[in-house]
Structure 1
C-alpha cells in the first residue's frame, strides 16, 4: 500500500498578464487605441497599409534618384573615413578647428592689416608654426593619395 500524503502543496493559478499587476493595463491599451483613432493615426495607418504597393513604388523611385544615390555613397565613404581615424586625434582636431575659428573671428574683428615683417614674425609663433607643420604634413599625405 502507498504511504499517506503528509503535506499538501497548493499551487496558485497563473493569472493573465493583462489582468495581473495593474488592473488598468487592458484599460490603458483601450485608451491608447481610442486616442489613436480620435487623432486619425489609425485611419492613416490603415490607409498606408492599403496603399503599401504605391508607397513602396514611390519610395523606391525616390531612393533611386541620382542625387539620393550620390548622397548615400558619400555618407558611406564618409563613414569609412571616420572608422579609420583615431578618435583622440579627431577630438584634438575638432577642438583645434573650434579654437582656430574663434581666433580667426577675433582677428577679422580687429581689422588690422599685416605687413611682410608682421607675417614673418607670426611664422615664429610656436602655435602658428605647429599649425603650418600640420598643414604641410596633411598636404603631403593628401598628395600621395591623389
Structure 2
C-alpha cells in the first residue's frame, strides 16, 4: 500500500521560464489578432502622416505649460459663468417632470406648425380676440400661460 500524500509541492518557475511563458502568450495573442493589429498599425501610420502623433508628443512634453494655460482659461469669469449656468439649467431640468417637458415641447411644435399658416397682413381686433378665446385650444393655452405667469411671479418674489 502506498503512503498518503501529506504535502503538495508547488512547482516554482524560474525567472527565465516566466519570461518564456510570457513570450509564448504574446505570440499566441499576436497570431490570433493579426487583422486587428494590422488595422491599429494602419491607423497609427495615418496619424503619423498627418502629424497628429507629433502634435500629441509635443503636447505631452509641454503638459505643465498646457495645464497652466487650461487652468487659467477655465478660471476666467465668462467660463465660470457658463459652468454655473450649465449647472443651474441641469439642476432645473432634473427637477422637472420629463413627461410634462415632453408634452410641452410637443405642444410648442404643434403651435409652431399652426403659426406657419398665418397671413401676416391680417389684423386682429379686440372683438376677434374675444371670439378666439372661446376656442377650447386657445383657451387652454391662455389658461396655461396665466398660471405659468402666476408661478413665475411667485418664484420671482422669493
Normalization by structure 1: what TM-score? 0.81
Find the partner of 1:40 among 51, 60, 64. Answer: 51
What is the 5 A alignment of 1:1-146? 15-16=25-26, 18-107=29-118, 109-146=119-156
More moved, 64-73 vs 109-118: 109-118
8 A Cα contact 1:18 1:25, kept in partner: no
Aligned counterparts of 1:103 and 1:28: Cα–Cα separation in 2: 53
Q: Which runs of 5+ in 2 are unaligned?
A: 3-20
Deviates more, 1:30-39 or 1:127-136: 30-39
Structure 1: give runs of 5+ residues left out of the alignment: 3-12
Q: Separation in 1 of the partners of 2:144 and 2:99?
A: 16
Q: RMSD value over aligned CA atoms? A: 2.3
| Closer/same/farther in 2, CA of residues 123 and 28 from structure 1, 3 Å limit | closer
Q: Conserved in 2, the CA contact under 8 Å of 1:18 and 1:26?
A: no
TM-superposed CA distance for 1:56, in Å, is 1.1
Moved over 6 A (4+): none
